[in-house]
Amino acid sequence: MGSLSKEELEEKLATYVGRETEEPQIALDAVNEAMIRHWCEALGDENPVYTDAAAAAESVHGGMVAPPTMMQAWILDGIPMATPETQQMNMIREIHKLLTDNGYSGVVATNSEQGYARYLRPGDRIATTTVIESVSDEKATALGIGYFINTKETFRDHNGEEVGWQTFRVLKFKPAEQPQAAAPADSSGAPPKPKRLRPPLGHDNGWWWEGVNDGKLLIQKCKDCGELRHPPRPMCGNCQSIEWDSVSSSGRGTVYTFTVMQYPKFPGYEYPFVCALIELEEGTRVISNVVGCEAADVSIGMKVELSIENVDEDLKLPLFRPVA
């Protein structure tokens, strides 16, 4: 495969348009209360018609129903989705492979819409069929040139009745060439070291960054109710006051949660690095990096202290180091 001419490729792409996937995709599990409950827990949806049989029986539904927005969850493949090479070829994967083989290796989902014909109930068994509705002409985008593929998936219950639909649009693109570093090499001949992304500075947060440059970690404090807040913003989320002040943090805190960044690698960052939510002893939380130890040594609850450091010659950041 590979390296078709543009005409050949587009001719081939056109053969997919309007076709329905041969085999309906059938849900691994019937709609069930356990999955509904997990979904509601994960999303913080406390509507009792989804999780409380007695309340649901009293409602207009007369019994438990699934959140409509959960529709797609019923037919997803689970873990095998993460290893596409083990999945059976279907028309969608075929068209993606055709484009990948011809240099359009990038993929990004651009938009999706759903519609619902009725609530799903425990016991419903969902199956879907998918139609490739259209493939665009070759388009130039910020990501590179590529093709938009529109699909529409129809969701049906075990009686073959339509219960909803979902459209999905992806862009399959040729990743644009990385621009060559234009800056001159330094005296050693090495190209200049790329810098970290700059924080966006504005009216609402400039004062906070000035604090950092002065060696302080400031926390915004509502003048009316005393609530602390971070990141900086104009209005108190507690009492809606726009009067505020700030206090200087002691810099002592604990790791509330964290993640280790491995990929994708942005220029200016050294990988892996630890991105952590730090709970300050004042009672508010900030996102920062934990430095001065191996990523593997960071743990939830670990005591850390503020260290305002230059990450390059003109950017200071409030970082955190393990307490000795």
Strand ranges inside 184-302, DSSP E = 218-222, 228-229, 244-248, 252-261, 273-280, 285-290
Q: Judged by CB, which is closer to Zn ion: 195, or 230?
A: 230
11 contact partners, CB below 8 Å, separation of at least 6: none
- The nearer residue to Zn ion, 175 or 231, going by C-beta atoms, is 231
Scanning 39-47, 66-74, 214-222, 307-315 for contacts with Zn ion by CB under 5 A, the matching segment is 214-222
CB atoms inside a 10 Å sphere around CB 287: 12
Query: Is residue 47 involved in binding Zn ion (CB under 5 A)?
Result: no
Instruction: Write down the least CB distance from residue 228 to Zn ion, Å.
Output: 10
Neighbours of 202 (CB within 10 A): 9
Scan residues 215-254 and list those touching Zn ion (CB under 5 A).
222, 224-225, 227, 236, 238-239, 241
Nearest approach in angstroms of CB 223 to Zn ion is 8
Smaller CB distance to Zn ion: residue 179 or 237?
A: 237
Question: What pairing do the DSSP bridges indicate for beta strands 218-222 and 106-116?
Answer: unpaired
Amino acid at 157: D
Q: How far is the CB of 239 from Zn ion (least distance, A)?
A: 3
Question: What is the closest distance, in whole angstroms, from the C-beta atom of residue 226 to Zn ion in the complex?
Answer: 7
**For residue 71, what are the CA distances in angstroms to 66, 106, 234?**
8, 27, 38
**Residue with smaller CB distance to Zn ion, 97 or 233:** 233
* CB of residue 227 to Zn ion, shortest distance in Å: 5
The whole-angstrom separation of Cα 83 and Cα 92 is 15
Task: Judge contact between 322 and 297, C-beta under 8 A.
Answer: yes
- For Zn ion, how many residues bind (rule: CB under 5 A)? 8
> First and final CA of the chain: distance in angstroms?
58
Interface residues for Zn ion in 117-146 (CB under 5 A)? none
Residue (184 or 237) nearer to Zn ion, CB: 237
Which residue ranges make up the site for Zn ion (CB under 5 A)?
222, 224-225, 227, 236, 238-239, 241
